[in-house]
Amino acid sequence: MTTYEDRLAAFTGRVLVERRFGPDPVNVPMIRHWCEAMGDTNPVHLSDEAARSTGRSGIVAPASMMQAWTMRGYAASTTPADIGAFDELVALLDEGGYTSVVATDSDFDFHREARPGDDLSVEEVVESISAEKRTGLGTGRFVSTLKTYRDAAGEVVATQRWRTLRFRPSAAPRAPRPRPAINQDNEFWFAAAREKRLVVQRCTECKTLRHPPGPCCPECQSFAWDTVTAGGRGTLYSYVVAHHPPHPAFDYPLLIAVVELDEGTRLITNLTGVTADDLAIGMPLEVEWLVADADLTLPLFRPVAPQEH
């Protein structure tokens, strides 16, 4: 049986890009444009006279232009002639989940300078594909290839060892959930939530329940209160489906609901285990605790399974 590793290993030594010539021979106008764009003022690239005074026969191309001579235009890269071993390797890496790519290093070895009139070609061969490595970007494999640049006579002008990392992008860590504004009046409610108890504040004078927490009874203005523990059942009183603005702590669309507890008070919460299409005002809901992090546990609500009500 051929394993994935075997199939990758079979690429070692394989020609990835067949020897191909650049669209134009090395020429003075392209050298001049390159030097202007790069700010390269070395006269051996710009003046035959200056180049001859250094013992050269005339202008030479900057070494950094080597790749430029053999690059094809954007249109050429989409023609059927392009489908080959390179695409096969990319498809195999995609199959392994290595869908992202970053160039890691390029190491040139120059055998001679390129001169106007040189008709340069490039061939690319796979040198190695590493075992799976863990990197800061994600788990992946280093793919090393050797590009060989030759003149029309087949003499080597330069070689380039080219290494890329093909990787599975790491999932971005979930952002922490926004902190509630906890104060002296509501701290008891979040403390109970950390113990997965849904409590409701109650006036000890007139026994009226209230939520959100506050220091004073809206019915009788008493400051005396205690709490009751709610049963965790209620119904959907109202809701909104939030698409925007996205916050990295949440999945979207985000279902934000007003739930009316069986005890009679209402609270704002998020819904879980349901999509927006299945929401209906009055639907029965029950609490489900979200342990957001070490300091924050919050009540979410999910639909009660049909057989349970």
Looking at beta carbons only, is 45 or 202 nearer to Zn ion? Answer: 202
Looking at beta carbons only, is 18 or 219 nearer to Zn ion? Answer: 219
CB burial of 204-238 (b: ≥16 within 10 Å; e: otherwise) equals eeeebbbbebeeebeeeeeeebeeeebebbbbbbe
| The amino acid at 193 | A
CA atoms of 256 and 253, how far apart (whole Å)? 9
Min dist. Cβ of residue 225 to Zn ion (A): 8
Q: How many residues does the chain have?
A: 309
Total binding residues toward Zn ion, as defined by CB under 5 A: 8
Contacting residue, 49, 219, 262, 295, with Zn ion by CB under 5 A: 219
Looking at beta carbons only, is 23 or 214 nearer to Zn ion? Answer: 214
Segment interacting with Zn ion, rule: CB under 5 A, options 61-69, 80-88, 218-226, 268-276? 218-226
Radius of gyration of the chain (CA): 34
Matching residue, tokens 């080219």: 162
Contacting residue, 205, 260, 263, 288, with Zn ion by CB under 5 A: 205
Min dist. Cβ of residue 291 to Zn ion (A): 33
| The amino acid at 95 | E
Looking at beta carbons only, is 150 or 202 nearer to Zn ion? Answer: 202
Per CB under 5 A, does 228 bind Zn ion? no
CA atoms of 200 and 228, how far apart (whole Å)? 5
Looking at beta carbons only, is 215 or 246 nearer to Zn ion? Answer: 215
Q: For residue 107, is it left (φ>0), alpha (ψ between -120 and 50) or beta? A: beta
Contacting residue, 114, 217, 236, 259, with Zn ion by CB under 5 A: 217
Min dist. Cβ of residue 226 to Zn ion (A): 11
Of the CA atoms within 13 Å of residue 22, those in its CB half-sphere come to 22
Looking at beta carbons only, is 76 or 206 nearer to Zn ion? Answer: 206
Segment interacting with Zn ion, rule: CB under 5 A, options 95-103, 123-131, 205-213, 270-278? 205-213
On whether the CB atoms of residues 178 and 256 are closer than 8 A, the answer is: no
- Which x/- pattern over 162-201 shows residues binding Zn ion (rule: CB under 5 A)? ----------------------------------------
Segment interacting with Zn ion, rule: CB under 5 A, options 10-18, 178-186, 216-224, 230-238? 216-224
Per CB under 5 A, does 222 bind Zn ion? yes
State in Å, rounded, how far the first CA of the chain is from the last one: 54
Min dist. Cβ of residue 261 to Zn ion (A): 18
CA atoms of 115 and 268, how far apart (whole Å)? 74
Contacting residue, 206, 224, 249, 268, with Zn ion by CB under 5 A: 206
On whether the CB atoms of residues 15 and 124 are closer than 8 A, the answer is: yes
Q: Segment 44-63, which members bind Zn ion (CB under 5 A)? A: none
List residues bridging with 22 in a β-sheet: none
What is the contact surface with Zn ion in residues (CB under 5 A)?
Answer: 203, 205-206, 208, 217, 219-220, 222
